[in-house]
Structure formats: C-alpha cells, structure tokens
Structure 1
Amino acid sequence: MSAALTVNSYFDDKVKSVALENAEGVSTVGVMAIGEYEFGTSQKEYMTVVSGALTVMLPAENEWKIFAKGETFIVEANQRFQVKVSETTAYLCRYE
C-alpha cells in the first residue's frame, strides 16, 4: 500500500478527486462544482453523496434521480452515466 495520494482533475478543474487505498480498498473523495458531467466507469462504483446533492441519469434508466447527502448509487463497470450538479457537492466513490 502506498502512502502517496493521487489528485485527479476533470472538466477544466470543475471536478477534483483524491484517490486513496486502505483496508477497505480503493476509493476517491471529491468535489463537483455546479455543472453537467458525463462519467465512464472501468470498475463497479459505489458513489455516496457526502455534502450537497447529485441529480443522476443512471445507465439504462430514462428518468433523472436525485441523490442527497448520505445516499448512494451504484454503477456497474464499463458504463456511462450523467450527473447534474446544482450546488457544489462532495462525494465518496468506492471501487470494486
């Protein structure tokens, strides 16, 4: 296990995350500025809203769903999903 933290930046610095690895596995903790984003997954992701809210269009869905503080959504590997952010929002993403 490495002690180094990896900082990632996406969408012209509107989304930033810090990657970590610990006994629970690999996770990222990040912040999204107000905007609309599309993400792709390479692994199964468990995304939990820490502060704020995310409006999400999950793969194979046709309605947007709002996830508030403390709520989690799951996206399988090799999928794309869309996110609308109406207030700056923090999240935790755990990978499997």
Structure 2
Amino acid sequence: MPSVNQYFDNKVASIAFQTATLPATVGVMEIGEYEFSTSEFETMSVVSGALTVKLPDNDDWQTFAAGEQFTIEANQKFNVKVEVESAYLCTYGK
C-alpha cells in the first residue's frame, strides 16, 4: 500500500510505492531550497518543472529539466533549489 510523506513544513510531499523492480517515490516540491540526505543509491527523474541541484563533492549547481535525471550514492547529502513547482520520480537501489 502506498504511504504518503511530507517534509519541510509540507513543501515537499511524496508517495512511496514498489515498482516492478525497485522501491520508489513520486512527489512534488514547492518553490524553495532544500537539503536532502540519502540512505541508499537514488535515481531522481524530473517529471515536471526543473530541479537545480548541487551534488555531493561538486561546487557547481546543475539544472535538470523535465525528462532528465541524476543519481546520488548512498549516505550523501545534496541541495536542491526549486524555482517553479516541480514533480519527480525517485527510485532506490541499482
């Protein structure tokens, strides 16, 4: 059964579910800046809008638009800036 999670004073909401192969979340982010941490390998796919991301061990910010994705290793922190409400799909594991 899907579970709903809310973060950052309800500015980020996600629904967890199981895909055919990997656990996943699908969610939305309001305009703002956020710091996330990972407990396992993640693949973030932007569904709508755009996410500007500062990945671990990187000084540069990169913008990922709808249809693009990025990955983050386990036990890392990364920062996200959202300038327009955006939706994402995140899968966990490899």
The TM-score with structure 1 as length reference comes to: 0.95
Aligned equivalents of 1:72, 1:66: Cα separation in 2: 10
> Deviation of residue 25 (structure 1)?
1.4
Provide the rounded CA distance (Å) in 2 between the counterparts of 1:24 and 1:33: 29
Task: Tell me which residue corresponds to 2:64.
Answer: 67
- The unaligned stretches of length 5 or more in structure 1 are none
Instruction: Measure, in 1, the Cα distance between the counterparts of 2:21 and 2:85.
Output: 26
What is the total number of aligned residue pairs between the two structures?
Answer: 93
Q: Which residue of 2 aligns with 1:48?
A: 45
1:11 alignment partner AA: F
Q: Which consecutive aligned stretches of 4+ in structure 1 deviate over 4 angstroms post-superposition?
A: none
Instruction: Provide the aligned C-alpha RMSD in A.
Output: 0.5
Q: For the residues of structure 1 that align with 2:20 and 2:51, how far apart are their CA atoms?
A: 27
Identity rate, percent: 58
Aligned ranges for residues 1-96 of structure 1 at < 5 Å? 4-96=1-93
- Deviation of 1:46 after TM superposition, in Å, equals 0.1
CA distance in 2, matches of 1:58, 1:46: 12
Quick check: 17-26 or 73-82, which moved more?
A: 17-26
Q: Give the letter aligned to residue 10 of structure 1.
A: Y
**Letter of the 1:85 counterpart:** V
Q: 2:54 and 2:19 mapped to 1: Cα distance?
A: 30
Match of 1:87, SS state, is coil
Distance in 1, Cα, partners of 2:21 & 2:8: 28
